[in-house]
Chains A and B, each alone.
Chain A
Amino acid sequence: MKSIAIIGGGVAGMEAAAKLSRMGFSVTIIEEKDQLGGKLMQWHALFPARRPSAEVLSNLKKQVKLGINTILNARVERIEKNDDGFAIVLNHNRMITAHAILLATGFDIFDASKKEEYGYGIYDNVITSVDLEKAFSSGKVVTAQGKTPKRIGFIHCVGSRDEKAGNPHCSKVCCVTGVKQAIELKEMIPDSEIYMYYMDLRMFGRHFEELYKEAQVKHHIQFIRGRLSEAFENQDNSVLIKIEDTLLGKPLKMNLDLMVLLVGMQPSGGIAGILRDLEVEKDADGFVKQTDNQLAPSKTNTPGVFAIGTVTGPKTIEETISEARAVTLEIADYLHNKVASRILMNENYSL
Chain B
Amino acid sequence: MIEFGYSLQSNRQIDFDLNDRRMLKYVRKNEPSIDWCMSCGTCASGCTAGATSDFSLRRMILMTRRGEEDELKTNIFRCRFCGKCINACPRGVNTRNVIYWMQQAVKNINAL
The answer to whether B58 touches A247, judged by C-beta atoms less than 8 angstroms apart, is yes
Contacts of B13 in A (CB 8 A): 250-253
5 contacts between A and B (CB under 8 A): A216-B38, A245-B62, A247-B59, A253-B14, A254-B17
Asked whether any CB of chain A lies closer than 8 Å to the CB of B31, the reply is no
Mark interface residues in A219-252 (1 if CB within 8 Å of B CB, else 0): 0101101000000000000000000010110111
The answer to whether A248 touches B66, judged by C-beta atoms less than 8 angstroms apart, is yes
**A220 CA / B36 CA spacing, docked (Å):** 10
CB distance from A52 to the nearest CB of B (A): 29
Contacts of B35 in A (CB 8 A): 216-217, 220
Asked whether any CB of chain B lies closer than 8 Å to the CB of A53, the reply is no
Question: In chain A between 197 and 227, which residues have their CB closer than 8 angstroms to a CB of chain B?
Answer: 212-213, 216-217, 220, 222-223, 225
Q: Summarize A's interface: helix, strand, loop or mixed.
A: strand
Give the number of chain A interface residues (Cβ < 8 Å).
17
Mark interface residues in A247-287 (1 if CB within 8 Å of B CB, else 0): 11011111100000000000000000000000000000000
**A213 CA / B40 CA spacing, docked (Å):** 14
Asked whether any CB of chain A lies closer than 8 Å to the CB of B50, the reply is no
The answer to whether A252 touches B17, judged by C-beta atoms less than 8 angstroms apart, is no
Q: Which chain B residues have a beta carbon within 8 Å of chain A's beta carbons?
A: 12-17, 28, 32, 35-36, 38-39, 58-59, 62-63, 65-66, 68, 91
The answer to whether B15 touches A217, judged by C-beta atoms less than 8 angstroms apart, is no
The answer to whether B36 touches A225, judged by C-beta atoms less than 8 angstroms apart, is no
**A212 CA / B68 CA spacing, docked (Å):** 24
**A245 CA / B39 CA spacing, docked (Å):** 12
Name the residue of chain B whose CB is nearest to the CB of A249: B59
**A225 CA / B62 CA spacing, docked (Å):** 11
The answer to whether A251 touches B36, judged by C-beta atoms less than 8 angstroms apart, is no
Given contacts A223-B38, A253-B14, 16 further A-B contacts (CB under 8 A): A216-B35, A216-B38, A217-B32, A217-B36, A220-B28, A247-B58, A247-B59, A248-B14, A248-B62, A248-B66, A251-B13, A252-B13, A252-B15, A253-B16, A254-B16, A255-B17
CB distance from A105 to the nearest CB of B (A): 38
The answer to whether B12 touches A222, judged by C-beta atoms less than 8 angstroms apart, is no
Contacts of A250 in B (CB 8 A): 12-14, 68
Contacts of B59 in A (CB 8 A): 247-248
Name the residue of chain A whose CB is nearest to the CB of B32: A217
CB distance from B31 to the nearest CB of A (A): 12
The answer to whether B62 touches A216, judged by C-beta atoms less than 8 angstroms apart, is no
CB distance from B45 to the nearest CB of A (A): 14
The answer to whether B65 touches A222, judged by C-beta atoms less than 8 angstroms apart, is yes
CB distance from B94 to the nearest CB of A (A): 13
**A220 CA / B35 CA spacing, docked (Å):** 7
The answer to whether A247 touches B14, judged by C-beta atoms less than 8 angstroms apart, is no
The answer to whether B14 touches A213, judged by C-beta atoms less than 8 angstroms apart, is no
Question: In chain A between 296 and 329, which residues have their CB closer than 8 angstroms to a CB of chain B?
Answer: none
Q: Given contacts A222-B65, A245-B66, A248-B63, are A216 and B14 in contact (CB under 8 A)?
A: no
Contacts of B17 in A (CB 8 A): 253-255
Q: Given contacts A245-B14, A247-B58, are A252 and B36 in contact (CB under 8 A)?
A: no
Among B13, B16, B28, residue most surrounded by chain A Cβ atoms (within 10 Å): B16
The answer to whether B16 touches A252, judged by C-beta atoms less than 8 angstroms apart, is yes
Contacts of A212 in B (CB 8 A): 38
One of A220, A225, A251 near B14 (C-beta < 8 A): A251
**A220 CA / B13 CA spacing, docked (Å):** 23
CB distance from A234 to the nearest CB of B (A): 11
Name the residue of chain A whose CB is nearest to the CB of B13: A251
The answer to whether A216 touches B39, judged by C-beta atoms less than 8 angstroms apart, is no
**A225 CA / B58 CA spacing, docked (Å):** 13
CB distance from A33 to the nearest CB of B (A): 41
